[in-house]
Structure 1
Amino acid sequence: MIPEWLTVPDVMKRTGATLPVVRRWLDERDVVGVRRGPDRVVMVPATFFVDDGPLPALRGTITVLGDGGHSDEEIVDWLHAPDESLPGGSAIASLHAGAKTEVRRRAQEQAF
């Protein structure tokens, strides 16, 4: 479950980034967003960010999952799926805890 979703303006406010910077994060897949709500606006999980921008370990994990054929929505779901065998109970919590190698290993397994 994703506790908090951010619109692009929310991301700008939270990180202090400009609109072109936030768009670049999305275009370059530092983070991924999904269209949600009645207006189908792009929203990004708040868990994808640290104080000043995207969680650094996230981009490579997104790349591995995307290369494995996962859609952006599937990537978001996989990162937030409960997994008690990981520190923090999910892949995204593990990335925040510094367990990037284990999360990426599991992401690679998803491609097979």
Structure 2
Amino acid sequence: MSAIPVAPDVLDPEVAVLPLPDVAELLGLPVTRVHQLIRDGQLLAFRRDNVLVVPADFLTEDGVVKGLPGTITLLRDAGYHPDEILRWLFTEDDTLPGTPIQALRSNRGREVKRRAQAMGF
């Protein structure tokens, strides 16, 4: 089994995070399946206070935010590192308005993916 990829913590300390066991409980999955979601690039994780965490905004009561895995894949394929992807997802963009993760959470994924594709060129 391969190691879980861990990004540097580049987010504001105010960004709410969930430890992996809490993510597993919220998603109704075993924690090993959450590890696999991270290895597969559907979620990004980092260490905060020596605990492996995922941003709470990546999840809803229905699961992983719609469009997030595809956006992560687009940016990775364009050569972005996990820390750059995290930073981009949580950086304010007046033209959205809000952050890309807020746009994904409010079902505006098409515009977020368009921007992610444009960043790759």
Question: What residue is the counterpart of 2:36 in the other structure?
Answer: 24
Q: CA deviation at 1:63?
A: 0.3
Question: What residue is the counterpart of 2:105 in the other structure?
Answer: 96
Is residue 74–residue 116 contact of structure 2 (8 Å, CA) maintained in 1?
A: yes
Question: What residue is the counterpart of 2:93 in the other structure?
Answer: 83
Question: What residue is the counterpart of 2:117 in the other structure?
Answer: 108
Q: TM-score, normalised by structure 2?
A: 0.80
Of Structure 1 and Structure 2, the greater helix share is in 1
Distance in 2 between the 1:93 and 1:99 partners? 9
Distance in 2 between the 1:26 and 1:111 partners? 22
Q: Which runs of 5+ in 1 are unaligned?
A: none
**Counterpart selection for 1:12 from 24, 29, 34:** 24
Q: Does 1:65 align with 2:75?
A: yes
Aligned length: 109
Q: Deviations over 1:14-33 (max 9, x none)?
A: 33321122112111111111
Q: CA deviation at 1:45?
A: 0.6
Percent identity of equivalent pairs: 37
